[in-house]
């Protein structure tokens, strides 16, 4: 019998419902799986967020408001005509930034910013949750303005100081927790002060003080309420709401800021209406001391040669004081917020600049370019007797570029005979190797390329002459003979260690006897040469030249005192004798610098002309000031002497204007120096037989002996005054030399 089948017969239609059940089972399992994955993922996310939040809550904000490091504008100050220090120039890197304290910011300025930017600033704990929720909703719904508008002042401080400005939810979370923590660590006043100092205000201006000066030409504590509202209204879009460039847009935002102040109750309705109708005038950009914010060029225009010199000196001093590189010192100067007090006398600086703009100061006719495409250039340095540089110009004509080549401080040029007082005569007098009337023979010292060397400007030799005559006529042989006795080593030591000359080579290249004539490989800077003459007018003291007096930090603390130290260069006796010797260069018509004479105002000084007439100089002193003048081509070439005024004449033209209104004076000589009549033939004190005499100045302890020469006819050919030309051997055969002529 067949087995009974156990397979149930399917009802009609069963396959369809079975399929539906299978699908629904799969879907159910999928939803369960997704739900479980979501739960697990949610737990992971919640755990991660919890850990993230806890980490924020357990640490500080990572911001130190006491040491906010931001670039600050450096300000240079100069005395005005009343002697009061006032702002003269600004220097910054990318931003104009000047810090102020909160007590320097008026309450109405604080109110304008607080109630325009963050009206619940004094109520929240770093985050305005209502505004944050509003911004979050706009972000989720992809509405306009989703990336801005919800940040409190505290959050803006966080963002500015951390530079964390990604427009993402993650950044916002970081910012929120940092702001909350910052409010725990600092007071509202500290946070507000920081904000008002770092808020971007359009152009290159950062902070309310910089903006006040840039747009309104005043300090923040001088702002009116409408001006404060004008600045507060800029913050959402500083560059497109500037009061100077976009007055209509700024007016709209200014009115909004005033509305916010009215709503907060810090101004009345009457005040509000008055302020809304009050015009706000911006500063004339031609008078502004800051960057124009558009071209990156300072509205101050091109810097003067004096300002250039100050900048270079400050950089050098910062390098030396702090062991900084030049690049770092320059960067710190731009960003450090220093206050630098310049020694410039603006009246004298203006005189110099006007003189150097006028070609008639230098020549009777306007000069054409030479074969190198150049015209003779020039420079002038004016100093007092304590090293303060009062004015300087480093080039002729209009200055068209800031911080260009400054011939007054950066051009090392041969001083020619202007070196003789500091390399030869002063040290030789100091060491008692010579006196006023020491007699030496004007004759060649050596043969150079088969020629007598050195030759004199006149082209002849004059036999026996006195020191005073040699200096008066700027003879070349006498100082070369003196330096051989003095030794070039002592001459170099005196120049470097007594009167501050820095350009002499250390390898001995400049130690030859021609040093006495101005042969210096790298030349000498005009400001150093001018300062080196100060001991001859102030009793023997040297002061390093200084274009500024001090540097202060942004808080007014002195960080560098640049007052030049007093250094004894020569004795009072030597200084007095040198003063009278240099007077001989100017008085009468025999001295090489006679054109410098200023009537009853006493003048002393020394001329200088380098080999082949490449450089011409005059360094002159009055009882008031020292002035150094140089002229020459930038690329050394022979000057068209016949077409140029002599350097002592140019010096006189400038210094006459400088001394206008000053009482005519003579130098007050100190020291144990006596005036003695001497014999110009023997150089000794006048004796019974002397017929040719002059008055000289001598140290009391080194008076010359009395002359007992007969002075007969047989000795008349050798004149101590240098009146009889003689050859190298005294034979009277002196004449023009082919060797290099150096005055």
What one-character-per-residue DSSP string does 451-501 give? Answer: EEESBPTTSS--EEEEHHHHHHTT-SHHHHHHHHHH-HHHHHHHHHHTS--
Note the pLDDT of residue 116.
94
Q: What percent of the chain has pLDDT over 70?
A: 81
> Measured in whole angstroms, how far is the alpha carbon of residue 716 from the centre of its chain?
60
Query: Could you tell me which residue, 243 or 93, shows the higher pLDDT?
Result: 243
What residues pair up with 524 in beta bridges, in sequence order?
413
Note the pLDDT of residue 298.
42
Note the pLDDT of residue 741.
34
- Whether the per-residue pLDDT at 368 is higher than 80: the answer is yes
Q: What's the mean per-residue pLDDT of the chain?
A: 85
* Domain of residue 222, CATH code: 1.10.3810.10
d(CA 118, CA 151): 8
- Whether the per-residue pLDDT at 550 is higher than 70: the answer is yes
DSSP code per residue over 263-306: HHTSS-HHHHHHHHTS--PPPPGGG--SB-SSSS-BTT-SPPHH
Query: Could you tell me which residue, 561 or 34, shows the higher pLDDT?
Result: 561
Query: Could you tell me which residue, 331 or 112, shows the higher pLDDT?
Result: 112
Note the pLDDT of residue 139.
60
Split at pLDDT 50, 70, 90, the class of 743 is: very low
Pick from 103-117, 280-294, 331-345, 451-465: least confident: 280-294
- Whether the per-residue pLDDT at 209 is higher than 60: the answer is yes
d(CA 650, CA 657): 11
Of 94-98, 239-243, 586-590, give the range with the top mean pLDDT. Answer: 239-243
Backbone angles phi, psi at 702, to 5 degrees: -145, 50
d(CA 72, CA 93): 8
302 CB-contact burial (10 Å; exposed 0-12 / middle 13-18 / buried 19+): middle
Q: Do the beta carbons of residue 343 and residue 389 sit within 8 Å?
A: yes
32 part of a folded domain: no
Pick from 199-208, 392-401, 688-697: least confident: 199-208
85 part of a folded domain: no
Q: What's the rounded mean pLDDT across residues 501-517?
A: 93
Q: What's the rounded mean pLDDT across residues 409-421?
A: 97
Query: Could you tell me which residue, 146 or 93, shows the higher pLDDT?
Result: 93
Contacts of residue 324, Cβ cutoff 8 Å, sequence gap at least 6: 318, 332
Q: Give the number of domains in the chain.
A: 1
Note the pLDDT of residue 20.
56
DSSP conformational letter for 662: P
Contacts of residue 667, Cβ cutoff 8 Å, sequence gap at least 6: 537, 579, 602, 604, 623
**Residue 710, SS3?**
coil
Each residue's pLDDT tens digit, 48-59: 554 455 454 444
437 part of a folded domain: no
Q: Do the beta carbons of residue 521 and residue 376 sit within 8 Å?
A: no
* Residue numbers of the domain that contains 226: 98-287
Split at pLDDT 50, 70, 90, the class of 78 is: very high
420 part of a folded domain: no
For 563-579, b/e burial (b = at least 16 CB within 10 A) is ebeebebbbbbbbbbbb
**What is the CB-side half-sphere exposure of residue 247 using CA atoms within 13 A?**
7
196 part of a folded domain: yes
**Residue 341, SS3?**
strand
277 part of a folded domain: yes
Q: Residues, the chain, total? A: 743
Note the pLDDT of residue 362.
95
- Whether the per-residue pLDDT at 723 is higher than 90: the answer is no
- Whether the per-residue pLDDT at 592 is higher than 70: the answer is yes
Does the bond joining 485 to the residue before it have cis omega, within 30 degrees of 0? no
**Residue 661, SS3?**
coil
Backbone angles phi, psi at 116, to 5 degrees: -85, -40
- Whether the per-residue pLDDT at 224 is higher than 50: the answer is yes
Pick from 38-42, 95-99, 714-718: least confident: 714-718
Split at pLDDT 50, 70, 90, the class of 7 is: very low
> Measured in whole angstroms, how far is the alpha carbon of residue 710 from the centre of its chain?
64
724-729, Cβ contacts within 8 angstroms, sequence gap of 24 or more: 724/462, 724/463, 725/460, 725/461, 725/462, 725/463, 726/442, 726/443, 726/461, 726/462, 726/463, 727/443, 727/461, 728/443, 728/444, 728/452, 728/461, 729/443
Pick from 87-101, 207-221, 469-483, 578-592: least confident: 87-101
Q: Do the beta carbons of residue 151 and residue 167 sit within 8 Å?
A: no
d(CA 282, CA 278): 13
Query: Could you tell me which residue, 209 or 7, shows the higher pLDDT?
Result: 209
- Whether the per-residue pLDDT at 675 is higher than 60: the answer is yes
Split at pLDDT 50, 70, 90, the class of 16 is: low
Pick from 106-110, 260-264, 297-301, 427-431: least confident: 297-301
Determine the Cα angle at 509 with ends 496 and 448, to 5°.
120
Note the pLDDT of residue 169.
67
Pairing of strands 451-453, 339-342: unpaired
CB atoms under 10 Å from CB of 549, counted, come to: 17
Note the pLDDT of residue 342.
98
Contacts of residue 84, Cβ cutoff 8 Å, sequence gap at least 6: none
Each residue's pLDDT tens digit, 307-359: 999 999 999 999 999 999 888 898 889 888 899 999 999 999 999 999 999 99
Whole-structure pTM value: 0.75
């Amino acid at each position: 019998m067949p087995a009974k089948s156990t397979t149930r017969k399917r009802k009609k239609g069963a396959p369809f419902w079975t399929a539906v059940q299978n699908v629904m089972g799969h879907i159910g399992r999928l939803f369960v799986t997704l739900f479980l994955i979501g739960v697990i993922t949610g737990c992971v996310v919640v755990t991660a967020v919890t850990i993230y939040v806890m980490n924020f809550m357990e640490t500080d904000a990572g911001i130190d408001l006491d040491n906010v490091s931001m670039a600050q504008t450096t300000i240079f100050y100069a005395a005005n005509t009343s002697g009061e220090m006032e702002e003269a120039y600004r220097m910054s890197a990318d931003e104009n930034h000047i810090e102020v304290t909160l007590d320097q910011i008026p309450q109405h300025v604080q109110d304008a910013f607080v109630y325009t930017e963050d009206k619940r600033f004094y109520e929240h704990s770093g985050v305005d949750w209502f505004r944050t929720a509003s911004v979050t909703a706009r972000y989720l719904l992809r509405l306009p303005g989703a990336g801005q508008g919800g940040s409190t002042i505290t959050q803006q401080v966080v963002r500015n100081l951390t530079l964390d400005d990604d427009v993402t939810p993650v950044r916002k979370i970081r910012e929120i927790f940092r702001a909350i923590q910052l409010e725990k660590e600092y007071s509202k006043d500290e946070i507000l002060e920081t904000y008002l100092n770092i808020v971007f205000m359009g152009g290159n201006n950062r902070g309310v003080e910089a903006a006040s000066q840039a747009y309104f030409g005043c300090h923040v504590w001088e702002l009116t309420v409408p001006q404060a509202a004008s600045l507060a209204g800029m913050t959402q879009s500083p560059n497109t709401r500037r009061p100077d460039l976009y007055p209509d847009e700024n007016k709209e935002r200014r009115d909004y800021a005033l509305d916010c102040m009215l709503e907060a109750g810090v101004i009345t309705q009457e005040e509000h209406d008055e302020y809304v109708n009050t015009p706000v005038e911006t500063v004339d950009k031609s008078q502004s001391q800051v960057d124009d914010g558009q071209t990156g060029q300072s509205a101050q225009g091109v810097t003067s040669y004096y300002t250039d010199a100050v900048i270079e000196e400050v950089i050098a001093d910062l390098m030396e004081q702090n062991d900084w590189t030049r690049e770092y010192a320059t960067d710190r100067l731009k960003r450090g917020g220093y206050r630098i007090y310049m020694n410039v006398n603006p009246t004298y600086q203006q005189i110099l600049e006007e003189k150097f703009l006028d070609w008639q100061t230098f020549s009777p006719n306007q000069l054409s370019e030479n074969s190198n495409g150049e015209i003779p250039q020039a420079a002038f340095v004016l100093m007092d007797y304590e090293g303060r540089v009062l004015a300087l110009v480093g080039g002729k004509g209009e200055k068209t570029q800031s911080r260009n080549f400054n011939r007054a401080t950066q051009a090392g040029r041969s001083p020619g005979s202007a070196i003789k007082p500091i390399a030869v005569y002063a040290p030789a007098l100091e060491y008692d190797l010579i006196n006023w009337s020491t007699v030496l023979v004007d004759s060649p010292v050596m043969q150079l390329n088969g020629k007598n060397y050195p030759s004199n400007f006149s082209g002849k030799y004059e036999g026996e002459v006195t020191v005073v005559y040699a200096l008066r006529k700027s003879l070349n042989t006498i100082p070369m003979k003196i330096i051989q006795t003095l030794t070039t080593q002592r001459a170099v030591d005196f120049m470097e260690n007594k009167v501050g000359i820095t350009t002499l080579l250390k390898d001995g290249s400049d130690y030859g006897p021609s040093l006495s004539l101005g042969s210096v490989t790298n030349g000498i800077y005009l400001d150093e040469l001018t300062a080196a003459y100060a001991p001859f007018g102030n009793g023997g003291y040297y002061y390093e030249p200084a274009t500024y007096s001090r540097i202060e930090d942004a808080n007014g603390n002195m960080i560098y005192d640049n007052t030049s130290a007093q250094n004894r260069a020569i004795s009072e006796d030597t200084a007095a004798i040198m003063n009278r010797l240099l007077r001989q260069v100017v008085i009468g018509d025999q001295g090489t610098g006679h054109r410098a004479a200023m009537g009853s105002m006493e003048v002393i000084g020394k001329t200088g002309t380098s080999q082949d007439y490449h450089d011409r100089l005059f360094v002159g002193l009055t009882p008031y000031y020292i002035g150094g003048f140089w002229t020459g081509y930038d690329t050394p070439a022979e000057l068209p002497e016949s077409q140029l005024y002599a350097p002592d004449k140019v010096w006189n033209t400038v210094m006459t204007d400088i001394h206008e209104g000053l009482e005519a004076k003579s130098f007050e000589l100190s020291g144990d120096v006596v005036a003695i009549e001497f014999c110009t033939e023997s150089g000794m004190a006048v004796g019974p037989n002397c017929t040719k005499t002059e008055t000289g100045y001598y140290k009391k302890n080194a008076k010359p002996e009395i002359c007992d020469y007969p002075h007969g006819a047989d000795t008349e050919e050798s004149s101590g005054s240098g009146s009889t030309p003689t050859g190298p051997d005294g034979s009277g055969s002196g004449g023009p030399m082919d060797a290099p002529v150096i005055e």
